[in-house]
A = this chain, B = another copy of it.
Amino acid sequence: MVVTWGSEVPERGLFVGRFQPPHKGHMEAIKWIFKNGGVDELIVAIGSAQESHTLRNPFTAGERMEMLRMALAEYNVSLSSVLIVPVPDIAMNFVWVRYLEMLLPRFYVVFSRNPLVVRLFREYGYKVVSPPSFERERYSATVIRKLMLDGNEAWRELVPYSVAKYIDDIGGLDRIRSIAGRD
């Protein structure tokens, strides 16, 4: 743990996800964090940043970053208080928290509901807070990708309007179906 902190540091938190794609559950969590999490700034780390064009990770880190910025604007979250950072995977769970400390500005609290993320940060010594879930059965990226693949338009209601529009504009549905070998 770095022993030499410096300057006056803003109350900064960390929120980790893959955002494939960003959905309303993510946005509600971010709003909850700014309201209840005691932070002025939030780092949003985009995990598995090297992945794209698979059924589990259809979008590039850059695309996910664009979608997140649009969605934040749509939800009236100030872009100057959110730092979106793509983070490529590292193949060593034990080292992963330290690797994040290398890539990211300092943060004092971690927000996550992912069991592995929670465990890794707690073993390292961080305070971890789990935001309440927002209809987790519906607002799930896995569910959304399944709907997209099946040609079920219901996915549109599960993501911010700007995200749905973006996915249309870049031909995202086409991509997912091409990769799956369906047409």
Contacts and interface: CB of A to CB of B under 8 A. Distances in A.
Interface centre among A91, A93, A115, A122 (most CB of B within 10 A): A93
A144 to B, nearest CB: 18
A99 interface: yes
A79 B51 CA distance: 28
A101 B49 CA distance: 12
Interface stretch (A26-34, A135-143, A145-153, A161-169): A161-169
B5 A102 contact: no
Given A7-B170, A52-B102, A119-B175, 19 more contacts: A1-B1, A3-B122, A4-B123, A6-B165, A6-B166, A7-B66, A7-B70, A7-B169, A53-B119, A54-B93, A62-B102, A69-B105, A79-B79, A85-B86, A86-B104, A92-B99, A94-B98, A116-B179, A118-B178
